[in-house]
Amino acid sequence: MINLLSPEYKKELAAARRNVTLLRYVFVLGILAGIVAASYGVGYFIFHQQEQAAHQQIADYAPQKEQYKADIEAANAYNKNLSIAKAILKNEFSYSTFLTMLAKTLPSNAVLANIEVTTATLTKPIKIDVNTKSYQGIIDVKDAFQRSQYFKDTKIITAESTSTTGAYTFRGSLMTTFDINAFNKAQKEGAL
């Protein structure tokens, strides 16, 4: 077969076919862009409708919110008080347990005469005044505090005979450091 078409005409035919293919691609891309834009538009419309419905519900329930405003404020105040109570109880120190443990630490021949303890002074050395039947009783108190796991660095400050009559005629002052960490651990474990 003899090709009677000129080379220029062949080039124009090939270009025309490419133009038709490209025109189809442009048309398909246009349709796809329209579908994507339509889906975004529909999504925006749906979300806008939901937003309007939510605003309408808020507006509908606003009078009811005013009706329960006092209850809401009371609940918020109660919640705040619970948070404060939780913080206080977290750092709770049981003085009754402390005094019971202190009484158990004292030997039987000694009585507690004076102690000043606050939560601020618990980590500092504590002065304890005791009355005993003899000078040896004051030394026994010091030794009892030294053996205790809750006290450390116990020292006798003063030991003197009092002019009072009765069984407890010696008065002693001791300085000791309270181990609050051991106390809290024992309290949590239920050992106290």
* Residue-wise DSSP of 158-189: EEEE-S--SS--EEEEEEEEE-HHHHHHHHHH
Please check whether residues 10 and 82 belong to one and the same domain.
yes
Please tell me the predicted confidence (pLDDT) of residue 2: 62
Please check whether residues 64 and 123 belong to one and the same domain.
no
Please check whether residues 76 and 100 belong to one and the same domain.
no
Structural domain for 6, as ranges: 1-91
Please check whether residues 172 and 108 belong to one and the same domain.
yes
Please check whether residues 31 and 112 belong to one and the same domain.
no
Q: Rounded distance, CA 115 to CA 102, Å?
A: 10
Please check whether residues 75 and 152 belong to one and the same domain.
no
Taking residues 3-8, report their average pLDDT: 79
Alpha carbon 54 to its chain's center:
34
Q: Rounded distance, CA 138 to CA 160, Å?
A: 10
Taking residues 157-184, report their average pLDDT: 83
Please tell me the predicted confidence (pLDDT) of residue 91: 65
Q: Rounded distance, CA 184 to CA 182, Å?
A: 6
Please check whether residues 112 and 171 belong to one and the same domain.
yes
Please check whether residues 146 and 126 belong to one and the same domain.
yes
Please check whether residues 23 and 37 belong to one and the same domain.
yes
Q: Rounded distance, CA 186 to CA 128, Å?
A: 22
Q: What tokens were used for 134?
A: 């003899």
User: 166 in the Ramachandran plot: left (φ > 0), alpha (ψ -120 to 50) or beta?
Assistant: left
Q: Rounded distance, CA 182 to CA 113, Å?
A: 25
The last residue of a domain, from among 68, 91, 114: 91
Please tell me the predicted confidence (pLDDT) of residue 192: 66
Give yes or no for a contact between 126 and 117, defined as CB atoms under 8 angstroms apart: yes
Please check whether residues 15 and 76 belong to one and the same domain.
yes
Question: Does pTM surpass 0.75?
Answer: no
The CATH number covering residue 103 comes to 3.30.1360.100
The last residue of a domain, from among 91, 119, 135: 91
Please check whether residues 59 and 140 belong to one and the same domain.
no
Direct distance between the N- and C-terminal alpha carbons of the chain, in angstroms, rounded to an integer: 114
**What's 73's DSSP letter?**
H
How many structural domains is the chain composed of?
2
Taking residues 24-41, report their average pLDDT: 95
- 8-27 confidence digits (pLDDT tens): 888 888 898 999 999 999 99
Q: What tokens were used for 118?
A: 């606050």
Please check whether residues 103 and 87 belong to one and the same domain.
no
